[in-house]
Homo-oligomer: A and B are copies of this chain.
Amino acid sequence: TATTWTLINENVRCKSTLALGDKEQEEKQAVGGGPTKNEKGINSYWGLEPTKVTKEGGAEWKWTCFRPWEAYKADLSIDLKKHHAPVTLLDKMAYWTVKTLRWPTDLLFQRRYGCRAMMLETVAAVPGMVGGMLLHCKSLRRFEHSGGWIKALLEEAENERMHLMTFMEVAKPRWYERALVFAVQGVFFNAYFLGYIISPKFAHRMVGYLEEEAIHSYTEFIKELDNGSIENVRAPAIAIDYWRLSPDSTLRDVVMVVRADEAHHRDVNHFASDIHYQGRQLREAPAPLGYH
């Protein structure tokens, strides 16, 4: 699929449109001054003028947290039913850890799937980042190539963060939910970090099962949208640009592509665990890159 986007380094004197809201920008410009006075000044000294990015049609790109070339069309044909049957003790531990974690989550959110999705995505974006970071440090320490796994895991983390940015638009977090996310991230980040150091085999298997549960939850979400319990609102603008959805897409379309993403993460993580089960290192098997 050929896509065109344009990158124009704006002249420093042109009015920047991406950096800040127009009004704020005007003020900054009014202040003027030397390199350390305002952003324009810093930019021009360090050569980092805000980049003007346009969409395919020529319309302006509104997002700074991701760029047109990171957008993609989700592969909705992916098999949602695939499952790794837990065989070894480690598999079973990973499976039951996830099943146990599901219990308080169900209790807490019940059928509020929008809120649930938002909250869970703050957790889902942690494993990819931790795994990618640990593999990066290992690659440096051992003077070894990564086989593309650092990138693959960081891309997973990035993708999960985009899920969060999307669901944020649909369900706004309340103060106690924010507090909960703080606490859960503190615990989960450290637990996963330790877990990955002790047994990456276990860590990836667990994420594989987490993704299987995520697929299940998103399927329930779609059912609630279909039976009208949750209003099928219009898709947030960020989701339309990220997954290249048509402009009249709805929340249901968004949940469909997010669910497809989770199925891809499931495959990648079970695959990674399988490689470890063969007694090999991840870098010995090339990572699936750009696998959405």
Contacts and interface: CB of A to CB of B under 8 A. Distances in A.
Interface of A: 7, 18-20, 35-36, 38-39, 42-43, 45-48, 50-51, 63-67, 78-79, 82, 87, 118, 121-122, 125-126, 129, 133, 136-137, 139-143, 145-148, 150-151, 154, 157-158, 161, 164-165, 168, 173, 178, 181-182, 185, 189, 267-268, 270-271, 274-275, 277-278, 283-291
A271 B49 CA distance: 11
Nearest to A18: B286
Contacts of A154: 154
B47 A78 contact: yes
B133 A65 contact: no
A288 B145 contact: no
Contacts of A283: 64-65
Contacts of A147: 64-65
Q: Is the interface of A mostly helix, strand, loop or mixed?
A: helix
Given A161-B140, A278-B38, A148 B65 contact: yes
Contact of A19 (B122, B173, B285): B285
A268 B164 CA distance: 27
Given A148-B67, A271-B46, A136 B141 contact: no
A66 B20 contact: no
Contact of A287 (B42, B64, B189, B271): B64
A116 to B, nearest CB: 15
